[in-house]
Structure 1
Amino acid sequence: MKINKVLNNNVVVTTNQHGQEMVVMGKGLAFQKKVGQTIEEENIEKHFVLQDTDTSEKLNQLLQNTSDKYLDIASEIYEYARSKLPYKLNDYLYIALTDHISFAITRMKEGIQLKNTLLFEIRKYYKTEFEIGLHSLTIIEEYTGIRMDEDEAASIALHLVNSQLSGENMEMAVQVTEVVNKTLNIVKYHYKTELDENSINYERFLTHLRFFAIRYLRKEQMEETIDTFFYEQVQSKYSPAFKCAEKIATFLEKNYQWVLSKDDMVYLTIHIHRVTYRQKKMN
């Protein structure tokens, strides 16, 4: 591979076999090398394709003004997260983490601490990601001597959640968390009960809500598969859960302009029934 641009000793821009511009990373990959020279593929540790010119320019600016130490921190967090999570991480996460950590440490040194308003929800709904965020604080402390608080662990967790959504669109990760939280609150208020957060049915419901929110935020249409007869059967058999689902549907349409399909209503009703029926029996 030929070097198109050297960003620092460890990062260069090159072109893959499909003619796409991409960033490749590896310790000492570009040491004493210039544009036009080749790099050894066996020394490449990470790579990702640059989707557009704007991303390329932002990446260029970030890496030229960021210490290699933050690249190393982000790399270690990235690899740890990859070993713990069941889903594939977006390659842009490496850059997003580098940028976030660099900025967060600069703020800490200046005595500026920002609170994460979603700390409670992130800790509650994204337990694995939050645990990785907590471990990341230890990694950061080992490199910098600075111990950050749980608010930063939650911010790192959001980057991980966002990585399975759509690259660098952090706003979507925040929206998913908000939708999940508000939907669960509707269920709790409707049934006037707390849900068993340690139950398998709760975990299944949580997973359904996350992907349900992701699909709508991405504007992905689901093909209708459920006929009117089955829809009416579910409506009749699980009447309390269906009424709760109707409240959720009204909330989503009013606040997000999402109109739920019959399939959505059926799956939502069944999940609500499962998570509340067991709770009712226990109570």
Structure 2
Amino acid sequence: MKVLKILNNNAFISYDSHGKEVIVMGNGIAFGQKVGKEVTPTGRYKIFSNTDSETNERLKAIVAEIPEEYMKITERIIFILEKQYDKKINDVVYISLTEHIHGAVERHKKGIEVTNPMLMDIKRLFKDEYEIGLSAIEDIENEFGIPFGEDEAAYIAQHLIYGQLDYMTSITDVTKLMQEIIDIIKYTFRTNFNEESIYYNRFVTHLKFFAQRVVSDQTYSDENQDLFDIFKAKYLESYGCVCKIVAHIKNHYDYDLNSDEQLYLMIHIEKISTKARLEH
């Protein structure tokens, strides 16, 4: 691809195969390059297409206005999320997270400390993102000498969570519904769950996207009625728990769970409840 304009050492503007403008980003990818030169990107890089012109313009502004060290931290954070945790994220996080980190550093320099009211919820319900947030504040300290704490790690985690959800969805609403469902399950089975277990973490991941659909009123396919009937008859206690969740969501969110949604909830509930019984 041909270099049309160099934004900084880590980004340049080019055209894709359809003649549309794109931004190519990667560590040192534009270093030593010249306008008009053909370049074959290697190593770790990201191409931002022009499907959203507003996003691209914001990205150009960030590259021009914010020191490139901030974008490098963002790029590493997202790389960890996608490659090590196998989670997909919206490209707009490259913008929002870079702006956030830059703003947090500038506020700290002015002596402004910000607490995160969702810290405990983030730590409990979004452990992967929170762990990445902790890694990110280490990077920030290494790069800028600023020692952020858990509150900032949780704020970074929130950007990663939003990037996996519909941006119109409130993370507060999603977290609230997730906790309500977990409380119903705990009450039904009269037990606490091992929050470090793989079964629980898989359930929380499923619950995150399930809660998003509910609070944003998105419908879900309904194709497994026969399988639902089989599991309903086999796992009576888990199905009874699902019925409580169905009633709660209908009463408080005016959302009707179809058989597919109930089926997947039932499967996860059966796994984590069985594991909890074996551990006690």
TM-score by length of 1: 0.81
Which residue is equivalent to 1:219? 218
Alignment partner of 1:104 is 2:125: no
Q: Alignment RMSD, CA only? A: 3.0
Which residue is equivalent to 2:261? 264
Which residue is equivalent to 1:147? 147
Bigger shift: residues 1-10 or 98-107:
1-10
Deviations 1:150-193 (A, max 9, x none): 11111222333333345xx2845554433322211221233343
Which residue is equivalent to 1:208? 206
SS in 2 for 1:162: helix
Tell me if the contact between 1:123 and 1:154 (Cα under 8 Å) persists in the aligned partners. yes
Gaps of 5+ in 1: none
Bigger shift: residues 116-125 or 133-142:
116-125
- CA, structure 1 residues 258+72, in 2 after alignment: closer, same or farther (shift >3 Å)? same
Bigger shift: residues 59-68 or 232-241:
232-241
Separation in structure 1 between the aligned mates of residue 41 and residue 267 of structure 2, nearest angstrom: 51
- Residue 231 of structure 1 and its aligned partner are, at CA, apart by 4.4
Separation in structure 2 between the aligned mates of residue 22 and residue 49 of structure 1, nearest angstrom: 5
Tell me if the contact between 1:11 and 1:25 (Cα under 8 Å) persists in the aligned partners. yes
Identical columns (%): 35
Gaps of 5+ in 2: none
Separation in structure 2 between the aligned mates of residue 62 and residue 272 of structure 1, nearest angstrom: 44
Which residue is equivalent to 2:30? 29
User: One-letter code of the match for 1:85?
Assistant: Y
Which residue is equivalent to 1:241? 238
- CA, structure 1 residues 250+142, in 2 after alignment: closer, same or farther (shift >3 Å)? same
SS in 1 for 2:14: strand
Which residue is equivalent to 1:42? 41
Tell me if the contact between 1:162 and 1:170 (Cα under 8 Å) persists in the aligned partners. no
Deviations 1:30-73 (A, max 9, x none): 76855xx3452336833221332221232233222211221232
Which residue is equivalent to 2:250? 253
Aligned residue pair count:
277
Alignment of 1:1-283 (within 5 A): 1-3=1-3, 6-26=6-26, 27=28, 29=30, 33=34, 37-42=36-41, 45-165=45-165, 169=167, 171=169, 173-216=171-214, 217=216, 219=218, 221-227=220-226, 231-232=228-229, 234-280=231-277, 282-283=279-280
Separation in structure 2 between the aligned mates of residue 50 and residue 103 of structure 1, nearest angstrom: 26
Bigger shift: residues 92-101 or 2-11:
2-11
User: One-letter code of the match for 1:51?
Assistant: T
TM-score by length of 2: 0.82
Tell me if the contact between 1:165 and 1:172 (Cα under 8 Å) persists in the aligned partners. no
- Residue 194 of structure 1 and its aligned partner are, at CA, apart by 1.8
SS in 1 for 2:225: coil
Deviations 1:3-30 (A, max 9, x none): 5555445323322102333211242627
SS in 2 for 1:12: strand
User: One-letter code of the match for 1:223?
Assistant: D
User: One-letter code of the match for 2:266?
Assistant: T
Separation in structure 1 between the aligned mates of residue 34 and residue 265 of structure 2, nearest angstrom: 57
Deviations 1:106-144 (A, max 9, x none): 121122222222222221222222222111111110110
SS in 2 for 1:115: coil
